[in-house]
Structure 1
Amino acid sequence: MRKRAAGLSAALLGIVLGLTACGSDQPAAAPADSAPASAPAVDKGNGKLVIWADPVRTAALKPFTEQFGKENGVTVEIKEIAEELQNQFLTASQQGSGPDVLIAAHDWIGNLVQNGSIDPVQLTAEQKSAFQEIAIKAVTFGGQTYGAPYAVENLGLIRNTALAPEAPASVEALIESGQALKKAGKVSEILCVPVGQEGDAYHIYPFYSSAGGSLFGTTASGDPDPTKITVGDSAPAFTKLNELGKKGVGALKTSLGNDNTIATFASGKCAYLISGPWAIADVKKAGISYDVTAVPAFDGGDPATPFVGVQTFYVASKGKSKALAQEFVTNYVTNPDVAMALYNADPRPPALTAALDQAKAANPDMGKFIEAGKTGIPMPAIPQMAAIWQPFGVAEAAVINGGDPAKAAAAANKAITEAIEK
């Protein structure tokens, strides 16, 4: 049943690059190295493969899906879903009108499995070994592999090297440097990290974890344990956030959120930005000299642990062409050509090692973000993670604005527990 996507023509690759090029530093897709291997015919289901994806991935995948359709004698349809992709997929799956393949984040796995909407994918041990280890770990749930990963993303510290030539060794060193630059009138902000009026657990988590904070206990196998909520035990971590928000320090501000943090850094108003690969295009456009390193830890603290997210291809359990979907996900999109097309559409480090090597050769930032994520952990994929964001964010914003850390942690823990128990 296995075919390779290596029979793509140069013209086809040109279409992909034309659709998705993000700059002259983008690597070209890898050339084909052999003709597709002969294999038994794939069960074609109803003769149609339906894929749901967001707008960026729709454009990148279209030429490849057309080629897959020709090779297998089927029609391939990509439906562009711009909003509420997960909810729309779950609803359609229950109604029997969903796709055969879904492209989405790995941390949806728990909810999708709980709703019986995706099947395990049949990756061989050899195929798994071709991916970054953390990518396979992220798509493994309950001992089974539920997706074919294609991109890995995590936060790093992006530094304006004209203002801060050296990477800070600790959070304290970063704050001291930022304060000195502000006092000298070179910046208006000590640190650019999204907080916003409602908090932002994702972006603050490296600091929170370094200060000893956690969200869940762990099971015997080391997975997050949703029966043990530990936010209430993490008052010391919230105390550290409180200290960074205090007047006289001012490193964390609710006035900086996802809508203005990258722009503030790109305009030269701060020397340090905590963000991911998605910020680099704006930083380059602004002409800022920059470098990417790991988010530093507190002096004497635990490692600063960013969440690692993995973009994934899923096989829908209620699709009408399930064998065809398995063929597409396990043996087609695991090809470096496809991985590079997706990289060119949205430059984030590829999960496939061969594609990552190509990306790093043309754009060293990709390797730097991988290094920055070495202490990271996969975003918890358990359904109960959805209950964390809002209460945690409220607590985070409260302590940064001067609220009592112990009370904020306790209130968040109570709200999370109640939401999970509903």
Structure 2
Amino acid sequence: MRIRSAGLVAGTAALALTAACQGGGQGAEQSQASMVIWADPERAGVLQPFADEFGKTNGIEVDVREVAADTIQSDFVTAHEGGSGPDVVVGAHDWIGNLVQNGAIDPVQLPQDKVDALNEVAVEAATYDGQLYGVPYAMENLALIRNTELAPEAPETVEELVETGGRLKEEGEVQEILGLQVGQTGDPYHMQPFYTSAGGYLFGTGDQGNPDSSDLGVGTPESVAAFEKLAEFGEEGKSVFKRSIDAENVGSLFNQGKTPYFVTGPWSLASVQEAGLEYDVSPVPGFEGASDPVPFVGVQAFFVASGSENKVLAEEFVTNHVTDPDLATALYEADPRPPALTGVNGKVSRQDPDVGKFTDAGADGQPMPAIPEMDAIWDPFGKAQAAVIGGADPQKAVESAAETIREEIG
């Protein structure tokens, strides 16, 4: 799962810098100004024809450079610090806090009519310190995929899910009640709907709407109560959440009909369809009588580099061309995740109802916290969840995780 400013270059030095960014040497000659976009391999090929058209219209060359998905953020920060970064970078919204902290991106000025054309949660995700820092084009979140031959009706609560899955397991129809990846070190992303339904939270919210790292929800009484609920459905309880189910086996578990339910994102749809199962998509349910589950929402966006030598044109491309329905549709076809443009989302949903169902499942979701302090959460919090699911004391596990996180945040 989940990838979440311009002006014509003037002067020989600026041209040499752009050439270096494209892989040329300092002495490389260029016949005209150029703009560089960094994107991961899955999107670079899709972008190039649109970039070529933009370049032709504006009398420049636009080079879409392929950068490995797992290094593009760090490579971008390093290039920015060295003065050789791109003009535009494509990536995840939860990079924003780190990129802003490093002074690597600028806010974008998106006309209100274009803001209104985007999904509200996607806009919220791309907003930091009250300013829009990226133009979203795709979203992703968790939902519940179910095998409709085994479970015809969508469960409204976790308890209802367990009742159906437990019966099927007793009858020998399935091996596991639920396909939810936990693993030996936990998985806070996939556990988030259940943790929030049980009353837990990660960070409070500051005055600017950003997650507030000084208000850490891990270690609070609410988080202890949430972990007690996770323990109730863990290996020494109802045996729904299990460490033996991880990212490596959860997909095949569902695709082979060994569990009726699968908590996952749109990235799993292709393999489910290839397996030939009858399936449907619905929101991840919450616990009976508890809070509504709040899955994370991830957003992919285009950002304008603060060091761009082509800022006016980069801004023009990001604000007026990323919101082009044709580009949004092409990006969706290359990687079928719900488009952020509501009109395009509606169009593709009519062709593929799963898109709309995933969008609906994330309607009340929370954008993945974009503050740098989020990095301190994943490892200790995941290990605490795995330990509690395996039978460890919830209060001790949560308080230990909180101590580690606070030390990391500083």
TM-score normalised to the size of structure 2? 0.90
Looking at structure 2, the residues matched to 174 and 362 of structure 1 have their Cα atoms a distance apart, in angstroms, of: 29
Write the deviation string for residues 146-185 of structure 1: whole angstroms up to 9, x where unpaired. 0000001111111110000001111111111111111111
Please give the secondary structure, in 1, of the residue aligned with 2:319. Answer: helix
Looking at structure 1, the residues matched to 34 and 121 of structure 2 have their Cα atoms a distance apart, in angstroms, of: 33
1:216 aligns with 2:180: no
1:163 aligns with 2:150: yes
Looking at structure 2, the residues matched to 283 and 196 of structure 1 have their Cα atoms a distance apart, in angstroms, of: 21
Looking at structure 2, the residues matched to 146 and 220 of structure 1 have their Cα atoms a distance apart, in angstroms, of: 18
Specify the alignment match of 2:235 in structure 1: 246
Please give the secondary structure, in 1, of the residue aligned with 2:240. Answer: coil
CA distance 1:96–1:220, change in 2 (3 Å): closer
Deviation of the 1:320 alpha carbon:
2.1
Specify the alignment match of 2:374 in structure 1: 385
Amino acid at match of 2:367: P
Q: Which moved more, 1:169-178 or 1:251-260?
A: 251-260
Equivalent in 107, 126, 129 of residue 142 of structure 1: 129
Aligned residues: 380
Specify the alignment match of 1:319 in structure 2: 308
Amino acid at match of 1:74: I
Please give the secondary structure, in 1, of the residue aligned with 2:252. Answer: helix
Please give the secondary structure, in 2, of the residue aligned with 1:232. Answer: coil
Looking at structure 1, the residues matched to 149 and 47 of structure 2 have their Cα atoms a distance apart, in angstroms, of: 39
Specify the alignment match of 1:256 in structure 2: 245
Please give the secondary structure, in 2, of the residue aligned with 1:245. Answer: coil
Provide structure 2 residue ranges, at least 5 long, that are not aligned to the other structure: 1-5, 10-14, 16-32
Looking at structure 1, the residues matched to 209 and 98 of structure 2 have their Cα atoms a distance apart, in angstroms, of: 19
Looking at structure 1, the residues matched to 63 and 366 of structure 2 have their Cα atoms a distance apart, in angstroms, of: 35
Looking at structure 2, the residues matched to 222 and 85 of structure 1 have their Cα atoms a distance apart, in angstroms, of: 27
1:43 aligns with 2:7: yes
Please give the secondary structure, in 2, of the residue aligned with 1:172. Answer: helix
Looking at structure 2, the residues matched to 259 and 399 of structure 1 have their Cα atoms a distance apart, in angstroms, of: 21
Q: CA RMSD in A?
A: 1.2
1:299 aligns with 2:278: no
Specify the alignment match of 1:363 in structure 2: 352
Specify the alignment match of 1:187 in structure 2: 174
Looking at structure 1, the residues matched to 93 and 390 of structure 2 have their Cα atoms a distance apart, in angstroms, of: 33
Asked whether the equivalents of residues 129 and 210 of structure 2 are also in contact (C-alpha less than 8 Å), the reply is no
**Aligned pairs (5 A) from 1:68-87:** 68-82=54-68, 83-87=70-74
Deviation of the 1:221 alpha carbon:
5.2
Write the deviation string for residues 372-417 of structure 1: whole angstroms up to 9, x where unpaired. 1122111111111111111111101111111110011001111111
Please give the secondary structure, in 1, of the residue aligned with 2:80. Answer: helix
Where in structure 1 do 4 or more consecutive aligned residues deviate above 3 Å?
220-223
Looking at structure 2, the residues matched to 218 and 64 of structure 1 have their Cα atoms a distance apart, in angstroms, of: 38
Provide structure 1 residue ranges, at least 5 long, that are not aligned to the other structure: 1-41
**Aligned pairs (5 A) from 1:70-109:** 70-82=56-68, 83-109=70-96
Looking at structure 2, the residues matched to 146 and 43 of structure 1 have their Cα atoms a distance apart, in angstroms, of: 18
CA distance 1:222–1:329, change in 2 (3 Å): closer
Looking at structure 2, the residues matched to 361 and 159 of structure 1 have their Cα atoms a distance apart, in angstroms, of: 21
Looking at structure 2, the residues matched to 134 and 214 of structure 1 have their Cα atoms a distance apart, in angstroms, of: 18
1:57 aligns with 2:4: no
Amino acid at match of 2:258: K
Write the deviation string for residues 283-328 of structure 1: whole angstroms up to 9, x where unpaired. 0000011111111110110001101111000001012211111111
Asked whether the equivalents of residues 193 and 293 of structure 2 are also in contact (C-alpha less than 8 Å), the reply is yes
Looking at structure 2, the residues matched to 54 and 278 of structure 1 have their Cα atoms a distance apart, in angstroms, of: 16
Looking at structure 1, the residues matched to 257 and 270 of structure 2 have their Cα atoms a distance apart, in angstroms, of: 15
Amino acid at match of 1:280: L
Specify the alignment match of 1:38 in structure 2: none
Looking at structure 2, the residues matched to 264 and 345 of structure 1 have their Cα atoms a distance apart, in angstroms, of: 27
Looking at structure 2, the residues matched to 43 and 383 of structure 1 have their Cα atoms a distance apart, in angstroms, of: 30
Asked whether the equivalents of residues 128 and 210 of structure 2 are also in contact (C-alpha less than 8 Å), the reply is no
Specify the alignment match of 1:119 in structure 2: 106
Amino acid at match of 2:384: A
Amino acid at match of 1:73: G
Write the deviation string for residues 66-96 of structure 1: whole angstroms up to 9, x where unpaired. 2112121211111211232111111111001
Specify the alignment match of 1:310 in structure 2: 299
TM-score normalised to the size of structure 1? 0.88
Please give the secondary structure, in 1, of the residue aligned with 2:219. Answer: helix
Amino acid at match of 2:8: K
Specify the alignment match of 1:205 in structure 2: 192
Deviation of the 1:62 alpha carbon:
1.7
Specify the alignment match of 2:29 in structure 1: none
Amino acid at match of 1:415: T
Asked whether the equivalents of residues 88 and 304 of structure 2 are also in contact (C-alpha less than 8 Å), the reply is yes
Please give the secondary structure, in 2, of the residue aligned with 1:231. Answer: coil
Amino acid at match of 1:80: E
Specify the alignment match of 1:23 in structure 2: none
Amino acid at match of 1:361: R
Equivalent in 115, 119, 125 of residue 132 of structure 1: 119
Deviation of the 1:251 alpha carbon:
0.9
Q: Which moved more, 1:115-124 or 1:248-257?
A: 248-257
